[in-house]
Structure 1
């Protein structure tokens, strides 16, 4: 599986871009999964539901299944948060895993950057950033710049990267 991050500061538009990219990529035959890192406590279950009661009672994992989907909730109960590599190992094989968050991990990334967020670019300090998607021109950028408001352009870059690696993707975006 190839892994590509969509990284950037909060408010830059990572989730919006991801939600636009997934249908563009799947329409081109790419099987996609995602991993989203949350910096806060979250819950996908509802108090009062049987599965919630199972977790609250102390179950380490609760798997909920139906004819349309299944979900596994794993309680860490004081153990260390899993690494990106450990989480990737739990996924079923696909062509591409898009990762939102995990900025400090060593996988290839497209940085989503907007000046209006008021934060510095990650690309200057992160050699794993292979392109920057932004809503404004960034002079002197050493990696390809993509238009964050043109998800098809970003999808084309990702397809080129999948087909031949970052070298070919960089050359295609620069043309």
Structure 2
């Protein structure tokens, strides 16, 4: 299993980019999975549903199985967030796990950056950023020390880069 991350400030287009990369990687015959880290509270269940009621009753985990998919919900109940390694250990075997978030993790990452959003790059302050995908070039003063710069519109080149630089786990 290999791992590669996509990082960037909120609103930069990380998920939109991943929506383009996943099918392009899968078209090359690879099995792709994804871990998305959110700093918000998430809930894939709904109040009133049996699984919600049973989870709220105190279950540590609830596995919900339907006709098309299953989901395992694990309640932290005040425990710290698990590490990325812990989560990766729970993934089914695949060729590549893409990770959205976990900005502090020291694994290779592509930063999505759009000057128009008005926020600075995460690079060079965050570990693992090996390339910046953007719709504009970085300022000339940053270009000399910046990691690889990729065109956000060129999905094929980004897929080549991701596959060449993904870390073996």
Relative to the length of structure 2, the TM-score reads 0.90
Corresponding residue for residue 149 of structure 2: 145
Residues 155/104 of structure 1: CA separation in 2 closer, same or farther (3 Å cut): same
Give the structure 2 partner of residue 91 of structure 1: 91
Mapped to 2, the partners of 1:127 and 1:62 lie a distance apart of 34
Displacement after TM superposition at 1:11 (Å):
0.7
Q: What residue in structure 2 maps to residue 26 of structure 1?
A: 26
1:169 aligned residue: none
Which SS does the other structure have where 1:99 is aligned? strand
Task: Show CA shifts across 1:27-73 (max 9, x none).
Answer: 10111110111111110001111111110111110001134211100
The answer to whether the 8 Å contact 2:103/2:127 transfers is: no
Question: Which runs of structure 1 show a deviation greater than 3 angstroms over 4 or more consecutive aligned residues?
Answer: none
Task: Name 2:38's counterpart in structure 1.
Answer: 38
Separation in structure 1 between the aligned mates of residue 87 and residue 105 of structure 2, nearest angstrom: 12
Gaps of 5+ in 2: none
Q: Distance in 2 between matches of 1:42 and 1:161?
A: 31
Report the equivalent of 1:14. Answer: 14
Q: Give the aligned partner of residue 128 of structure 1.
A: 128
Of structures 1 and 2, the one scoring higher in RCO (CA 8 A, sep 6+) is 2
> 1:105 maps to which residue?
105
1:160 is displaced (CA, Å) by 2.8
- Alpha-carbon separation, structure 2, partners of 1:87 and 1:61: 15
- Alignment partner, residue 48 of structure 1: 48
- Count of aligned pairs: 163
In 2, Cα distance between equivalents of 1:42 and 1:33: 19
Structure 1 partner of 2:158: 154
CA distance in 2, matches of 1:68, 1:106: 35
- Secondary structure in 1 matching 2:19: helix
Gaps of 5+ in 1: 166-175
User: Which structure shows the higher helix fraction?
Assistant: 1
TM-score by length of 1: 0.87
